[in-house]
Amino acid sequence: MNMHSPTSLRERLRETTREVILDAAETAFAKDGLNRGRVEDVAAIAGVAVGTVYNHFADRGALVKVLLERRREESLSLVDRALADLGHAPFASRLEAVLTTMVAYFDTHRTFFSLLLEEEVQRDVSKRLSSTMALVARLETLVVAGVAERALRKEDAGLYPMLLAGMLRGVFVHALHTKTTAPLASTVKPMVRLFLEGAAP
């Protein structure tokens, strides 16, 4: 059996080209904005013809939509993997793993996060909230486990997922606003400590 049939090679080449275009779109749109970035610039950065971009994406709007969805899916997949790898580790270790994963993804895709924030500003409140709910759902599962092992008080458990998501968002927004380029790994342990112990001395 031919494991490298022309069809499978074409499919792999098409998928590789699509990923190159998405990476180029992230760069182009981060530079010029979601509303001003041009498909011509995306094509130039990707090293392909403009027609090739349109062979993969119906129009500019479809390209933006797929880019944002793909990056969200990637970050959530990494969170799922981090939680699965730790299995039944103590709550603090799993929390640190989730925050570390999200911070590392931010450091790798700062341009994506700047696009995501730009997109959220342009959307209504309900859609802004819905864009964070997939991460919040994972944090809810983690919090339930934390309450079960008595690492967290159950009385306030309903607030914890949104507080954690808000803490992460605040760190990311601050880094983008101040144009900080240093990796944010150093913020993880303080966030875990603040969440578990509070700010009192």
Residues 76, 21 share a domain: no
Q: Check pLDDT > 60 for residue 69.
A: yes
pTM for the model: 0.81
Q: What is the pLDDT of residue 21?
A: 96
Residues 115, 28 share a domain: no
Q: What is the pLDDT of residue 5?
A: 63
Residues 183, 102 share a domain: yes
Per the domain annotation, does 6 fall within a domain? yes
Per the domain annotation, does 62 fall within a domain? no
**Closest by alpha carbon to 83, among 140, 29, 9, 7?**
140
Q: What does R_g of the chain's alpha carbons equal in angstroms?
A: 20
Find the domain containing 174 and state its range: 67-197
Q: Check pLDDT > 70 for residue 182.
A: yes
pLDDT digits (tens, 9 = 90+) for 115-166: 887 777 666 555 555 567 888 999 999 999 999 999 999 999 999 999 999 9
Per the domain annotation, does 74 fall within a domain? yes
Q: Check pLDDT > 90 for residue 106.
A: yes
